[in-house]
Amino acid sequence: MPEKNAIFEENYQKYLEQVAQIDLALLPERLGVEVCDGEVIIPFFGNPYRISGKRIVGPDGRKAGYALSVILCKYLLLCPHYHPVADEWITYKDFKDAAPLIHYFSINVQQAIAAHFSNRLPDLLSAAEKLGKRSPAIDVSYDFSACFDPLPRVPLLLVFNDADEEFPAQCSVLFEKRARNYLDMECLAMVGGALMQYLKDKSE
């Protein structure tokens, strides 16, 4: 474990070095974030995180966890030079480079949400409201559906059918196709994992 932590810290410092080279003035328009006193303020599921070449901290002033730090840094570093328009919703497995993580996403995100909220539809609704859900702009026929905004420009769509006499509970988490311009496949999978964990935490 100490060796693993050392690797994480080394990678963390490398990300900070890369972030320090970014022209922050370009970010508000391109990413929908705020820049203040040399730091970028990025909302992650509604919680503001401050990122600079020196640190990544949450609203409580504490250092952000490693996985979240990677997501936030990648979001800044992959910033497209143009503003991709919103487009169709697709499943994680439909992304071109998703193959190595499709099984992970299915088991640890979609199936995990389905299993946790099976026969607990009111709990899912309550947890989603606490997480800042909004109504989808499209018509979908599911027992429950909601959009979330883990990051500006990277919304999620969750659709859920509860268990019945014939079928177990089923859940799908979809991204806009343009999400590939803002995060790589590993980070998108981790965003899905964060959604699952936040919903679970807010239901207990």
Distance CA 93, CA 61 (A): 36
Q: What is the per-residue burial (b if ≥16 Cβ within 10 Å, else e) of 184-195?
A: bbbbbbbbbbbb
Kindly report, residue by residue over 80-105, the tens digit of the pLDDT: 988 787 779 999 999 999 999 999 99
pLDDT exceeds cutoff 80 at 2: no
Question: What was the pLDDT predicted at 84?
Answer: 80
Question: What was the pLDDT predicted at 3?
Answer: 59
Kindly report, residue by residue over 108-151, the tens digit of the pLDDT: 999 999 999 999 999 999 999 999 999 998 888 899 999 999 99
Kindly report, residue by residue over 151-198, the tens digit of the pLDDT: 999 999 999 999 999 999 999 999 999 999 999 999 999 999 999 999
* Highest CATH level, class, for 89-202: alpha beta
Helix and strand counts by DSSP (H, E) for the chain: 7, 8
173 - beta bridge partners? 158
Task: Look at strands 89-91 and 56-57 and give their pairing.
Answer: unpaired
pTM for this structure?
0.94
Q: Which of 116, 92, 107 is nearest to 203 (CA)?
A: 116
**2-19 helix and 66-77 helix, angle to the nearest 10 degrees:** 30
Show the CA angle centred on residue 78, arms to residues 76 and 84, nearest 5°. 105
Question: What was the pLDDT predicted at 4?
Answer: 64
Q: For the chain, where do the domains classified as CATH 3.30.310 start and end?
A: 89-202
CB 47, CB 167: distance < 8 Å: no
Four-residue CA torsion sign, 195, 151, 142, 108: negative
Distance CA 175, CA 155 (A): 7
Distance CA 115, CA 146 (A): 18
Residue 201, burial from CB neighbour count under 10 angstroms (0-12, 13-18, 19+): exposed
